[in-house]
Every structure is written in C-alpha cells, then in structure tokens.
Structure 1
Amino acid sequence: MTIGEFQQLIRNIYFDKDSRRGVDGTYRWLSEEMGELARALRQGDRNNLREEFADVLAWLVSLATLKGIEMEAACARYSAGCPKCDSIPCRCPEPSPPEFPGFDHSLSQ
C-alpha cells in the first residue's frame, strides 16, 4: 500500500468524524497517540509498537487530510535526499535533540 492509498483509506474510514472533530481535536488525538507510542517504545513490545506506529500514522494522515495536504506530495520533500544538505545519507551536523522538561527521555533502544 502506498502512502497515498493509505491516506485515501483513512479518509474513507474517518473523514466524517475527523471533520466534526476538527483540526484541534484531531491534533489532540495525534498527540495522545504520540504519548502511547513513547510508552510502547519504553516497553519494547513489538506487537504494541506496530499498533502504535500505525495509530500515529493514521492520525497524522487524518490531520493532513483536514488541512488539504496530500502526504505523497509532502513526502516528495525528501525524494532527492536530505532537504537541507541534498545528500543521501544526510551529511548535516548532528543537532542536539529538543528538550521537554518533565519528560522521561530514556526510551528503550
């Protein structure tokens, strides 16, 4: 399944509910799913990880759909490599990860 096909599938399943929920509500659900993904990363259960990655992707494409963004086109940003250095692999200097006060940054590998 392509990203575009996945977006269309999610649109077919959830667009009416997403439209009623709106961008703000849909973004809140995406944020909730990101938290569940963080917990799954700490626990390391592959089945749960697979589900949480799928949920995050579904909410992300729902949000993109509400904003009129086609994910296939958005992904094209990376088609020539890193959009900053134009290299494959990326040759940009490694930035420091963002800090979130109060968040446990010790995710399992």
Structure 2
Amino acid sequence: MNISDAQKAIYEEYYERDSERGIDGTFRWFVEEIGELAKAIRGEGDLEEEIADVFAWLLSIANLLGIDVERAFMKKYGFIFGGEKNE
C-alpha cells in the first residue's frame, strides 16, 4: 500500500458520507480524532489505532478538497527522497 492507494480506498468507502457531512463536519470529526490521539499519547488509548484514525480522516478531508495527498507530500517533502527542496 502507498498513500495514493490508501486515499483511493478511503474515497471509495467514505466519500459519499463525507460529502453529505461536508467539509466542516468532516473537519470536526478530524479534530475529535486528534483529541483522541492526544489522550493516547498521554497513555489513555491505543496509539496505533488513533494514528490510523487521524490519517484516515486527513485523507477524507483531502478527498473532499480534491487534494492528492501523495502528490502534495512529494511537492513539499520530495527533497527527502533526493528531489529539490521547495520553500
């Protein structure tokens, strides 16, 4: 699996519901998951599960906004893989 595969799978599974909820509602769910991640960091939850949830909701937001996360990541951080650094 790569980021694009994950984003496509999230799109296929959740895009219809995310669209009905809209960007504001989807973003609120994302923020809630960040809160759960914060609790897990403090030892009050499963870190792996919460990281996965935050990632999935981030992909949902990107899908609603029409952003290819892998492309955006490479544009910003491609230098890590030998590309040029973008400021």
TM superposition score normalised by structure 2: 0.88
Instruction: Give the 5 Å matches for 1:63-82.
Output: 63-76=61-74, 77-81=76-80
Match of residue 55 from structure 1: 53
Matches of 1:53 and 1:63, distance apart in 2 = 15
Structure in which a larger fraction of residues adopt helix: 2
Matches of 2:71 and 2:25, distance apart in 1 = 24
Instruction: List alignment gaps of at least 5 residues for structure 1.
Output: 85-109
Matches of 2:44 and 2:79, distance apart in 1 = 33
Following TM superposition, the consecutive aligned residue runs of length 4 or more in structure 1 with deviations greater than 2 angstroms are 81-84
Instruction: List alignment gaps of at least 5 residues for structure 2.
Output: none
Matches of 2:24 and 2:44, distance apart in 1 = 30
Rg larger in structure: 1
Amino acid in the other structure paired with 2:11 = R
CA-based RMSD of the aligned residues comes to 1.4
CA offset at residue 44 of structure 1? 6.6
